[in-house]
Structure 1
């Protein structure tokens, strides 16, 4: 992940890479009628941490139910964030690799990836690249992803709590894929409401969160 002279290496994944991943995963789902996390890792092999993070966080960044997967996906995201921070290759423990992904969830993930691929090819491009390549900031990005992944993995019976953590993860990962510093900043801004939500939850409890959600529904409903 580093160049000579100490600069973090730009991601080798560029426009069209997510579409290639979609095609590979679609073939696996069609043939095997399901996926494991190891299948996902093989489909993403050689495409870097940011691709792994994008694919695994994306299902939680939209209003769909992903039962039973927030914990294992969150653990994978946590590992990937730390390995970005310390410039190490992707790795997973064996017990996570065999975790099954239900076919319905796999197809929903593919559809979401198709939409993201089309959008990314239109709006993402290298700019403010120093924010993505600087070794110090690269470590910060990895640690933030790891922290947000812990929040995503929490088994909370609160609507959209996973989404609040997943959206900044996806934005940061896509920004790292395309060296797009502007979207990296957007990812950090998206982490602010996530931080506020979980601070209210941990300090004041679920009742306070329910009051906030009711107020927001009244405000925007």
Structure 2
């Protein structure tokens, strides 16, 4: 069973508040939460996965594992639905009484971050078509993150910043932040092109010498 995103215009904090308000009874499942959170939940996870790369040099191997997760999230957003999840995981009952306080703490943190964002430049955040394009951008940034260049300074940092800006901007409906994410993707491509040119030039010098 897949869950299609029904609302692509809610901020993550608003989506989480709705989840908390609609949790009823003593039990709730991951599928219930994902159905309510939609892409907002995936974007939050995407942002968290990008955090380890906000330093000049990342730990080798981590970029591949986390990059795969980011690529899968980007694909899910592009396709406008969550991927298939095992029923054992998606339908496992969770204790709502213990879960709600944790979610409320998370909501408090998100509300604090809201003051740093503004709903603006709707052309880059609103609508299904735009979100599909943004999902493809996230996917591409995840692929750039997975490039085997982790020993080179900033090779993971640039796409990591792009992923963080895209995920935060999309989830908070801040088009200016999303535009910053696209700019970082462009800078990453330029940086990788320069590295490739230097590598080819060095190879030619060695062969020519």
Shared fold (TM-score, shorter chain, > 0.5): yes
Which one has a bigger Cα radius of gyration?
2
- Check whether the contact 2:56–2:153 (CA below 8 A) recurs between aligned residues: no
Cα 1:204/1:64, change in 2 over 3 Å: closer
1:134 aligns with 2:133: no
Counterpart residue number, 1:152: 145
Please tell me the root mean square deviation across aligned C-alpha atoms, in Å: 3.3
Counterpart residue number, 2:105: none
Paired with 2:200 and 2:162, the residues of 1 have a C-alpha distance of 22
1:13 aligns with 2:7: no
Cα 1:74/1:185, change in 2 over 3 Å: same
Unaligned runs of 5+ in 1: 18-40, 94-115, 209-221
Paired with 1:2 and 1:86, the residues of 2 have a C-alpha distance of 9
Decide which of 153, 158, 165 is 1:164's aligned counterpart.
158
What is the CA distance between 1:61 and its match in structure 2? 2.1
Counterpart residue number, 1:53: 46
Cα 1:126/1:198, change in 2 over 3 Å: same
- Check whether the contact 1:61–1:163 (CA below 8 A) recurs between aligned residues: yes
TM-score (norm 1): 0.60
Q: Give CA deviations for 1:17-52 in whole Å, capped at 9, x if unaligned.
A: 6xxxxxxxxxxxxxxxxxxxxxxx99x964522111
Counterpart residue number, 1:183: 177
What is the CA distance between 1:187 and its match in structure 2? 1.3
Counterpart residue number, 1:66: 59
TM-score (norm 2): 0.63
Aligned length: 159
Unaligned runs of 5+ in 2: 17-29, 87-108, 203-209
What is the CA distance between 1:12 and its match in structure 2? 5.1
